[in-house]
Structure 1
Amino acid sequence: MTRVPRVAAMAAQSKVAAVPARGNVELVSNQHEYVIAVVGAGPRGTSFLERLLAHVERCSPGQRRGLKVKVFDPAPHGPGRVWDPAQSPLYLMNTPASFPTAAPSGSTRLCLPASSCSISFLEFCAPGGFDDDADSYPTRSQYGTYLAWLNKEVSAHLRGRGVAVEHIRAEVTALSPQEDRYLLSAAGKHHDADAVVLALGHLEAELASGPAHLAAQARQHDLHYQGPAIPTDVDYGVFGAGQNVLVRGLGLNFFDLMIQVTAGRGGQFRLNPDPAPGKRYTYDPCGEEPHLIAGSRRGTPYRAKTVAPGFVPAEIELKHLTPRALDSLLTTRAELDFATQLWPLIERDVCSTYASFGGAGDFDITSYAMPFQHRSWSSSEEYQQTLRQWLEDDASASAAAAGSPEKMAINALHAARLEVKKLVADNRIRSESVLRDVEGWFEPMVEGLASGPPLQRIEELAALARAGVVEFLGPEPVYGVDSTRGTFIADSPAVQSARYQASHMIEAMMPPNRITQARSPLVRGLLAEGLAAPAVIESAGQAHVHKGFQVTGAPHRLLHADGTAGRIYVLGLQLASVQWGTAIAAESGGDTTGSARALADADAAAAEVLRGLSSDAMAQRLDPVYG
């Protein structure tokens, strides 16, 4: 990636001082302060501040009242809980260093001009003291360091432009309208605001009926049950040495659990001499490891990412799901059906990519995603052998990069997913098809194939499986509690004579992103008071309550229960009603209608909020350089 000298120099000196802002524009305050409350100071709250700065830096001097920004979050401002720099350095991102950014960089700046603080994570790495290999997988704490730096720099630059910025380490527990403003409650204090930006991120959630029943049974029998949670919120120390721990989920949270209770306790992954892919490591136990017994519906972990460079390797080209094909479909209809009109094109792209990279025979992507359907095993040991071989084969395919037709076909599927995200956000797929098809079966399939960990984690898991530290349950596992013995139990109908018992169980997954399950007193209050409502999708004559808030088009304002909208803006995960698969970060240099849409959302909200500075009496307007 080409570096911008001014930006790189700015990052280099960030540890000792804020970089002077360009120009010397002061904001004029001749009426009461105009207050923007930003609720949530993680990546999206930080992106909003950066986009606010970009607009402020392009405003003519003397056109606005005094502006104040109050930023609320009990977690560290910038990284939030998920990216806290103080977390274990063992936790890795599942995207390469070249991907994530919280500010426009590269070609994204053609649509969203940079602020004086706009740099991507990769541009921050070298001056920040981190490895700047674009294809490496950084730690989450390193990305959190970048976010903390960006938040601090943006705040300093806003202050340098005359904007008062106050950071409040507290949770907003209530929000209500009061005359023409909003009243927020946090840590026993009340705060007025003219506009509110909700950038809430991951929220703790009430358990669904099945897990709630397990949790209740666990309490009755003095067992330890850990529900879905952000990994930084989980106390893995409760799992004692040698104790059985039942694990539900073999996705990204599983790999965090796996590494924390092994290498995190002193175990060593020893590099083998001249290793074949999949057999790179031998694990030397420290004696403090618990015994993990893990399962998932597929029976397999998420597949490892290929080592082929790029978020989507340059060799991947969609030849069927093309703009021309989509335009043709949309000439006779406003919305498309995913299963009948889009999936056939995606499937052809996957199969043709597989063939073009040397694949032989028909390639059934759905069977590849569920490799153990309709299979059975006579014993647990037979299944463990199957899984160990699966891990080694998957590692070998990932290490082969473009030499693996299967992994390149998965990358074509991943590229298609990015196009589907655009279509969903642009309302080009019928809502009932999004619910039934995109979220119903396409999302879990593509997540397991294309959203997995870096190759290193699969290599480590293979070593742990060979060492007996990790065992696998089998496809479609069933979890319960044996009331007679007072233990958790689990088994798979596909694996004979293999029932496991444990006093610990963990759901290795994030809390569900569903506002009706959120424990947040703020979200509960918004719903109860009619200031917010969940989106509702009609499908097959039935109304389905969706995950996210009901919102307007971009900039996304919260729709009240009566259908009206005020000045409460929504960013991020709670936009699931209008955006499918909201990403953990924007793509550096990405398309603002696609992989960098999170930045476009933040920019649109910042521009709209600043228009509120124009009082009715003064009829003032922003005078931005760009539209």
Structure 2
Amino acid sequence: MTGLPHDDPQPLTVAVIGTGPRGLSVLERLAVRLREEPAPRRRLRVYAIDAVEVGAGRVWRTDQQDWFTMNTVVGQVTMYSGEPDGGPARPGAGPSLGQWIADRARTHGEEPLGPNDYASRLRYGQYLRSVYRTIAEHLPEEAELVPVHDRILRARPRPGGGYELVRENDPAPLGVDRLVLATGHPRNEPDDFEREMLDFAAGRPGVHYLCGDSAADLALDSATIPPGTTVGVLGMGLSFYDVMVALTLGRGGTFTTLPDGSMRYEPSGREPHIVAGSRSGLPIPARGKNQKEPHHSHRALFLTPHAVEQARKRRLAETGGPRLDFDEDVLPLLLRELDHVYWTAHVTARDGQEAGERFAERHASVLLTGGNPAELLREAGLDGLPALDLQKLARPFGDRHFPDPQAFRAELLDVMRWDLSEADLGNGEGPLKAALDVLRDIRNVVREAVDYGGLRPSSHQEAFLRRFLPVNALLSAGPPRYRVRQLVALIEAGVVEVAGPATSYTADEEAGGFRVVSPRVAGSARTARVLIDARIPTPHLRRDTSPLVRGLLEDGLVSEYVVDDSVHGERFESGGLAVTRAPFHVVDAGGRVRADLYALGIPTEHTRWFTQVGSSRPGMRTLFYRDADAIAADLLAGGPEESRSAGRALVGAASGTPSEGSRA
């Protein structure tokens, strides 16, 4: 590598703060590049810094209970950027999570899992730790990896470049030339609702409000939540299921699988009574049985990078600006993609693979030429089947009112059992889950439309954030089927009660607790002594309580990504940390690119979309892998001045495109 003399006595020092999947991915690609690129370079010292567990991070730490589960099958998860090649596991050639578990089952007698099974977060954390050890063991002699188990309180810029890192538990600052922020899920300062609930609980013994966080970090023990206590739960997404199992399995309850595949719950007597609710009144549905190989990639026909590019050209010609309208330019193409998979799966399930392929070709041709597919659907005998309606699936109860909780409970269970039957058909053969799985498969193209201010600010806020994302999250990111069956069993046993749609949560002074009620279900009001927010905090730069982040803001070293759209006279303060495109240099408060500071993953959410991805996929050059590799390459790619020039070029190249934005 040019510009890094081999005889320089001072090593190039790099710190990666946060060693969960994103930080670990950078370390893995650094190790690969150090091995594969033999050009002369300075010695390298890399500090792997984590306040909770080096090599696993907070969410995946290895001291948590094993009932918290991943929602991606083990065969589709890897932290290595290349598959095993017959040699020892090493950066660039290592086992997927599923292969690692299978090997551990053979060599250590641990519980085996099939490629389509789901692992606990604890087990994934153990896998991450094994990847970290492999990285450390396979670095070349001129590089060293130094674990630092500490919290970084401040990053102060040095006059000549680089940073002095102030540690919580060590008075000696840590000097580094380059810094990578991969800090993961934040803890935010309370918003108005949270502050009201916290203040209400503060003066009342036995009354508690638990702000949203990873369930493994919530106070779900019997001291906070005694047996028999009524507990309100806000939100019924993935974290709701974590809270649910902690308060049931974690209290000694057991599930028995019955001959028909359903489950029965046997209580221990130590459970609380759980009253949950959400906007939709529907717990997040199950993921379909996996029928896809790890390397499967849906081939988009309608929502493609070319289609996004063409839409930008049209917008530029029409308005003088390239920003898109999500409802007009993106959503119709996305829905065509889902419809195509949905109807094709119906034909394939009924008439076989060849008939499905013939139908798919004709259906795609009609849609690509702007035709109406109604006649083709009638000809194929599909016109009597329900169309795919995302809004109806996500809001199955609509605006209807129910006369009592029993009526709502009966309909809720019917919806959940129907959805489970669809999930059992699979995400390849089952029309519904095959179509919904496309929402996961085409995220990268949605990112091309959305990232870096790709949408008009008003469209981003209203159409994308407020309308599309809640539906997308509910329908595309569900838990394993057995989790939903467990919830059905808990509802049947009376341990869990779902209040209903549009659930509200208020402090009830007279009752001395939290009032949980659905205005659409008569008689649903309940008083809870404990209220748990089961929603993972949304990243927001200015609400993050981390001393490191607050210090970076105060010092003007980072800035919020703000889109100023002069064409439409609109402005969007995203809450995300402003970064360039790859290799993701941070942009400071003066709009300058900091070539020695990078940010990856969740801190940049809202500047980029869906940054919480926690792994790559075997045999695929995923965006997760490419993001990490871009940073690794830049870390090793030359002296500070060369890197600063590259950073300026990145911003300059974005001028006049949707990626242009001001920094607040």
TM class by shorter-chain length? 0.7 to 0.9
Q: Which residue of 1 aligns with 2:225?
A: 239
Q: Is residue 2:285 matched to residue 1:303?
A: yes
Q: Which residue of 2 aligns with 1:148?
A: 129
Q: Which residue of 2 aligns with 1:446?
A: 472
Q: Which residue of 2 aligns with 1:255?
A: 241
More divergent stretch after superposition (448-457 vs 302-311):
302-311
Q: Following superposition of structure 1 onto structure 2, how do residues 153-192 of structure 1 map, counting pairs within 5 Å?
A: 153-158=134-139, 160-180=140-160, 181-186=162-167, 187=169, 188-192=171-175
Structure 1 length as normaliser, TM-score? Answer: 0.86
Q: Which residue of 2 aligns with 1:30?
A: 8
Q: Which runs of 5+ in 2 are unaligned?
A: 85-89, 106-110, 317-321, 347-381, 643-664
The SS at the match of 1:476 is coil
Counterpart Cα distance in 2 of 1:352 and 1:559: 41
How far does residue 408 in structure 1 lie from its aligned partner after superposition? 2.6
Counterpart Cα distance in 2 of 1:296 and 1:556: 36
Task: Provide, for residues 445-473 of structure 1, a one-character-per-residue CA deviation record: whole Å limited to 9, x for no partner.
Answer: 11101101010100000000000000011
Q: Which residue of 1 aligns with 2:20?
A: 42
What one-letter code is carried by the residue in structure 1 that aligns with 2:180? V
**Alpha carbons 2:557, 2:589 under 8 Å: kept:** yes
How far does residue 321 in structure 1 lie from its aligned partner after superposition? 2.4
Task: Provide, for residues 373-395 of structure 1, a one-character-per-residue CA deviation record: whole Å limited to 9, x for no partner.
Answer: 11110111211222222221121
Q: Which residue of 2 aligns with 1:127?
A: 103
How far does residue 219 in structure 1 lie from its aligned partner after superposition? 1.1
Counterpart Cα distance in 2 of 1:128 and 1:255: 28
Q: Is residue 2:608 matched to residue 1:579?
A: yes
User: Could you tell me which of 376, 383, 394 is aligned with 2:419?
Assistant: 394
Task: Provide, for residues 291-344 of structure 1, a one-character-per-residue CA deviation record: whole Å limited to 9, x for no partner.
Answer: 100001110111100114228996966443245544543554444322101211
Structure 1 residues 106 and 324: CA distance shift in structure 2, 3 A: farther
Q: Which runs of 5+ in 1 are unaligned?
A: 1-26, 108-113, 617-627
Q: Is residue 2:407 matched to residue 1:421?
A: no
What one-letter code is carried by the residue in structure 2 that aligns with 1:141? L
Q: Which residue of 1 aligns with 2:434?
A: 408
**Alpha carbons 1:556, 1:571 under 8 Å: kept:** yes
Structure 2 length as normaliser, TM-score? Answer: 0.82
Counterpart Cα distance in 2 of 1:605 and 1:95: 26
Q: Which residue of 1 aligns with 2:179?
A: 196
**Alpha carbons 1:338, 1:433 under 8 Å: kept:** yes
What one-letter code is carried by the residue in structure 2 that aligns with 1:137? Y
**Alpha carbons 1:65, 1:613 under 8 Å: kept:** no
Q: Following superposition of structure 1 onto structure 2, how do residues 106-505 of structure 1 map, counting pairs within 5 Å?
A: 115=91, 118-129=94-105, 131-158=112-139, 160-180=140-160, 181-186=162-167, 187=169, 188-222=171-205, 223-237=207-221, 238-275=224-261, 280-310=262-292, 318-322=300-304, 325-326=307-308, 328-332=310-314, 333=316, 334-358=322-346, 360-401=385-426, 404-425=430-451, 429-430=455-456, 432-505=458-531
Counterpart Cα distance in 1 of 2:425 and 2:148: 49
How far does residue 273 in structure 1 lie from its aligned partner after superposition? 2.1
Structure 1 residues 561 and 264: CA distance shift in structure 2, 3 A: same
How far does residue 439 in structure 1 lie from its aligned partner after superposition? 2.2
The SS at the match of 2:173 is strand
Counterpart Cα distance in 2 of 1:575 and 1:337: 22
The SS at the match of 1:516 is coil
The SS at the match of 1:98 is helix
The SS at the match of 1:568 is strand
**Alpha carbons 1:312, 1:411 under 8 Å: kept:** no
Q: Which residue of 1 aligns with 2:66?
A: 89
Counterpart Cα distance in 2 of 1:175 and 1:438: 34
Structure 1 residues 419 and 106: CA distance shift in structure 2, 3 A: farther
Identity, % of aligned pairs? 30
How far does residue 425 in structure 1 lie from its aligned partner after superposition? 4.2
The SS at the match of 2:36 is coil
Structure 1 residues 29 and 254: CA distance shift in structure 2, 3 A: farther
Task: Provide, for residues 157-216 of structure 1, a one-character-per-residue CA deviation record: whole Å limited to 9, x for no partner.
Answer: 22x432122111001010011111311101233011111011101121111111221111
Q: Which residue of 2 aligns with 1:543?
A: 571
The SS at the match of 2:636 is helix
**Alpha carbons 1:250, 1:296 under 8 Å: kept:** yes
Counterpart Cα distance in 2 of 1:213 and 1:427: 34
What one-letter code is carried by the residue in structure 1 that aligns with 2:311? L
**Alpha carbons 2:305, 2:448 under 8 Å: kept:** no
Q: Which residue of 1 aligns with 2:552?
A: 526
How far does residue 247 in structure 1 lie from its aligned partner after superposition? 0.3
Counterpart Cα distance in 1 of 2:35 and 2:299: 39
The SS at the match of 1:515 is coil
How far does residue 350 in structure 1 lie from its aligned partner after superposition? 2.5
Counterpart Cα distance in 2 of 1:586 and 1:281: 31
What one-letter code is carried by the residue in structure 2 that aligns with 1:304? A
More divergent stretch after superposition (37-46 vs 466-475):
37-46
How far does residue 431 in structure 1 lie from its aligned partner after superposition? 5.4
**Alpha carbons 2:80, 2:92 under 8 Å: kept:** no
Counterpart Cα distance in 1 of 2:534 and 2:386: 36
What one-letter code is carried by the residue in structure 1 that aligns with 2:216? T
Counterpart Cα distance in 2 of 1:157 and 1:294: 49
Counterpart Cα distance in 1 of 2:164 and 2:313: 47
What RMSD, in angstroms, separates the aligned Cα atoms of the two structures? 2.5
Task: Provide, for residues 400-452 of structure 1, a one-character-per-residue CA deviation record: whole Å limited to 9, x for no partner.
Answer: 22564322332233334442124334875455533332222211111101101
How far does residue 348 in structure 1 lie from its aligned partner after superposition? 2.5
**Alpha carbons 1:321, 1:346 under 8 Å: kept:** yes
What one-letter code is carried by the residue in structure 1 that aligns with 2:254? Q
**Alpha carbons 1:397, 1:407 under 8 Å: kept:** yes
What one-letter code is carried by the residue in structure 1 that aligns with 2:502? E
How far does residue 32 in structure 1 lie from its aligned partner after superposition? 1.9
Counterpart Cα distance in 1 of 2:537 and 2:77: 22
Q: Which residue of 1 aligns with 2:53?
A: 76
User: Could you tell me which of 34, 39, 48 is aligned with 1:56?
Assistant: 34
